[in-house]
Amino acid sequence: MHDEKANTEDTILFQPIVQTGKRFYITAMVLLLIIIWAFYAWIYQLRYGLGVTGLNRPVFWGFYIINFVFFIGISHAGTLISAILRLALAEWRRSITRAAEAITVLVLFFGVANVLLDLGRPDRALFVIKHANFRSPLLWDVTSITTYLTASSIYLYLPLIPDIALLRDRVSGWRRGLYRTLALGWRDTEKQKKRLNRAIAVMAVLVIPIAVSVHTVVSWVFAMTIQPMWHSTIFGPYFVIGAIFSGIASIIIAMAILRRVYHLEDYLKPIHFNNLGLLLLVMTLLWFYFTFGEFLTTYYGAEPTHLSVFYSKISGRYSVEFWAMVLFCFVIPLIILSIQRTRTITGTVIASASVVIGMWLERFAIVVPTLSNPRLPYERGLYHPTWVEWSLMAGCFAAFFLVYMIFTKFFPIVSIWEIREGRESALKEAEKRIKTYLPGKVAEIETARGETK
Amino acid sequence: MPQWGMIINLDKCTGCQACVVACQIENNNPIPRPEEVAYGRTISWMEIIPVIEGEYPRVKTRFIPRPCMQCDNPPCIKVCPTGATYENKEGIVTQIYARCIGCRYCANNCPYGVKYFNWYKPEWPKEIKESLNPDVPIRPKGVIEKCTFCNHRLQKAKEKAKAEGRELAEGDYVPACVEVCPSKAMYFGDLDDTNSQVSKLAESRRAFRLLEELGTKPRVIYLSEGG
């Protein structure tokens, strides 16, 4: 294993860890400044209360809850996609799973952070455990997100172990100690490999229902209420689809950035973007199907309270956000991703950026119009987010980018051992597997083609 | 256990807002700045909702005084993650300020919009601050508050009746809004007591409840106009 070739091979994947350039520090400093600014906004909010936001009665929820749903949605990128691709034995997954899984774990913290930002009394956040009322969908959220964070952290960590061991044997200084501890005595033996592969397979299966449950429960926070256009049975699957949709889009964007910054052209090839682009296209169509179904049902049923929310989106105060959402979530990605000529790296990245913006607008179009149009005819709500909300949103994005950048400085963002495993055995295995699809027994096909073992 | 309820006779209501003011003073509601009022941050447990029906020339305006409906099946208490809002044995939906985490989920699930949030630390002009009602706690910033049917008055009435060695009688306990109503449009009492005025009025053919199709079972019952 540790021959000359193995040592020089994949050096580019170790590069970000052993060497850090000026550009990294400059970017980190800029992000840090944004985070400090957001921190100031947060202190300001803590001091004066939620009155410094644009929230009011009846629009009790705004940016923070929108961002909560948005970030939890993004987190469906990694674990779910990576688990599905692993279980489906999609060979092209090898160079993208790590980048995706890291998004999941890291972005989840910002989902949770936004709930804390939204609380009037963040000092009492732990009351949800101390005085837990399990009738509340918020408690279901606490439960499923905690489970998800645990499971996806394990799912990120397990495939990291062999890579951490590789790093342990490469670096010196204080980091060597860190990697030695984290590598858990990995020596790359057959027995260890077998155990690890089994553990990864078990986690991949476990993590799928957990991921589905998380976004279902997030949707239920809205769907369990009796508010018009929230109280909808379609919300569970609609949110799961939306989450995977924005998740895939964010993987594509992350991959494109990593490819450029760390020169991973040889690992993240146009074919990866093409394949993920096709998945994104499927999700685009599914998203439209759900959205269309939801709006047509509301329109046809024509209940006045539902219609007032409906029209505030279609032609009323929130029509700009609504139609921008349709443009960004459906029209732009559909056109770019349907045409093979535009399904390039640049094309998929543009489509993905469009989807991420569109999905943020979707969450806005779900949260705000319903609250602005309450059942009883008193004055309609207005919502104008303030600098505090914008700052905290910018801060969350900046902090996520920063922790993701730091992650790439400690761990290989492309799974090295899985790439090597692919090189060594995947081709043979794939050939063998394809043979099992064909009529007749594997051995017979081989003899028929004049092959000998 | 008495089940407190309220009857509001819309025929008698003149929309004068006396109940609104009485409620704010009784319950130490903060006085927000004008720009906060314009932005929908007034805390007023009792409100008069103007309902305009029809189009010109056949326009009809109704004034509906709206306290908390004290639902018997309250949507707000189900969704509270910490059990800070609950229905007590006498049918009053209350809020524990010390347990509320300020997530505002209850406010979003109340179809009547009776849940109010403390966007800031409550403020009063100096003169009013000196005459706040000592029976009602001041709420901190960041928690939800709501109409309690002047629960503190019930506690006082109970103590008084006990000191006098008698049962609680009808009229011993009424909320501030009912007490102050100049046209006597509001009635208050035990809905379970078949002899009480409220339970008799609740049987009226004019009786209706707000958004009763939602199945929230309000304990505030209206008598429609034209009686």
pLDDT beyond 90 at B32: no
Residue A211 has a pLDDT of: 92
Which chain A residues touch B if contact means CB-CB below 8 Å?
48-51, 55-61, 115, 118-122, 124-125, 127-128, 130-133, 135-139, 142, 221, 224-227, 371, 374-379, 381-382
Taking one residue from A and the other from B, the number of pairs with CB-CB distance under 8 angstroms is: 140
Classify each residue of A44-60 as buried b or exposed e, where b means 16 or more C-beta atoms within 10 Å of its C-beta.
ebeeebbbbbbbbbbbb
CA–CA min distance A319, chain B (Å): 22
Task: Tell me if B41 and A142 make a contact (CB, 8 A cut-off).
Answer: no
Q: Which residue of A has its CA nearest to B116?
A: A57
Q: How far is A94 from chain B (nearest CA, A)?
A: 41
| Rounded Cα–Cα distance for residues A75 and A246 (Å) | 9
Closest CA in chain B for residue A225? B109
Three-class secondary structure of residue B49 per DSSP: strand
The pLDDT value given to residue B170: 86
Shortest distance between the Cα of A52 and any Cα of chain B, in A, equals 8
Nearest Cα residue to A131 out of B109, B139, B99: B99
A89 occurs within a structural domain: yes
Q: What is the rounded distance in angstroms from the CA atom of residue A122 to the CA atom of residue A136?
A: 18
Tokens at B15, concatenated = 């929309």
Q: How many angstroms from the chain centroid is the CA of residue A445?
A: 43
Cα separation, A15 vs A262, in Å, equals: 8
Helix (DSSP H) and strand (DSSP E) numbers for chain B: 8, 10
CA A253 – CA A259 distance, rounded (Å): 10
List CB contacts of A315: < 8 A, sequence separation 6 or more: none
Task: From chain B, pick out residues whose CB is under 8 angstroms from the CB of A50.
Answer: 102, 117, 119, 142
- Contact (Cβ atoms closer than 8 angstroms) between residue B5 and residue B191: yes
User: Considering its fold, how many domains does chain B have in total?
Assistant: 1
CB contact under 8 A, A226 and B36: no
CB B44 within 8 A of CB B59: no
* Residue numbers in B near A57 (CB within 8 A): 40-42, 107, 113, 116-117
Q: Per the CB < 8 Å rule, is B51 touching A124? A: no
- Domain contains A154: yes
Q: Find the CATH number of the domain harbouring B215.
A: 3.30.70.20
User: What's the domain count of chain A?
Assistant: 1
Quote the CA–CA distance of A280 and A311 in Å, as a whole number.
Answer: 29
Identify the residue among A44, A61, A112, A131 best suited for mutation to test binding to B, counting B beta carbons within 10 A and taking the highest: A131
What mean pLDDT value characterizes chain B? 93
Q: Are residues A227 and B105, on separate chains, in Cβ contact within 8 Å?
A: no
B53 to chain A: nearest residue by CA? A377
Residues 6+ apart with CB under 8 A from B205: none
Chain A contact for B51, CB < 8 A?
yes
> What is the C-alpha to C-alpha distance for residues A106 and A210, in angstroms, rounded to an integer?
17
Segments of chain A scoring below 70 in pLDDT: 1-8, 378-379, 442-453
Between CA A398 and CA A402 the distance in angstroms is 6
**CB < 8 Å to A135, chain B:** 78-79
Q: CB-based contacts of B38: which residues, under 8 Å, 6+ apart?
A: none
Contact A49/B119, CB-based, under 8 Å?
yes
Write out chain B residues lying below 8 Å of A371, CB-based: 108
Q: Which of A108, A81, A420 is nearest to A272 (CA)?
A: A81
Site from A134, A217, A225 to mutate, B interface, most B CB atoms within 10 angstroms = A225
Query: What does chain A come to in residues?
Result: 453
HSE-CB for B6 with a 13 A CA cutoff: 29
Report how far apart the first and last C-alpha atoms of chain B are (Å, whole number).
32
Q: B98-151: per-residue pLDDT in tens?
A: 999 999 999 999 999 999 999 999 989 888 888 999 999 999 999 999 999 999
pLDDT tens column, A215-233: 999 999 999 999 999 999 9
Residue of A nearest to B214 (CA): A226
Residue identified by tokens 């509270």 is B80
pLDDT in the model for residue A1: 44
- pLDDT tens digits for B61-101? 889 999 999 999 999 999 999 999 999 999 999 999 999 99
- For residue A128, the chain B residues in CB contact (below 8 A) are 81-82, 101
Q: Residue A5 has what pLDDT?
A: 56
Residue pair B115/B26 in contact (Cβ under 8 Å)? The answer is no
Cβ contacts of B141 on chain A, cutoff 8 Å: 49, 51, 120
Put simply, the chain B residues between 53 and 92 with a CB less than 8 A from any chain A CB are: 66, 75, 78-84
Q: What is the CATH number of the domain that holds A357?
A: 1.20.1630.10
Chain A: give the shortest CA distance to residue B63, in Å: 11
Q: Quick one: pLDDT at residue B50?
A: 87
A110 vs A98: CA distance, rounded Å: 19
Main-chain phi, psi angles of B123, to 5 degrees: -135, 145
In a domain, A449, yes or no: no
What is the residue range of B147's domain? 4-223
Mean pLDDT of B198-226: 94
Q: How far apart are CA B181 and CA B201, in angstroms?
A: 17
Cβ pair B143:A121 closer than 8 A: yes
What whole-number distance in Å separates Cα of residue A271 and Cα of residue A265?
11
Cα–Cα dist B127/B160, whole Å: 30
Chain A residues within an 8 Å CB radius of B75: 225-226
- What is the β-pairing status of strands B93-95 and B4-9? unpaired
Strand, helix or coil for residue A48 = helix
How far is residue A149 CA from its own chain's centroid? 12
> Does the ipTM exceed 0.90?
yes
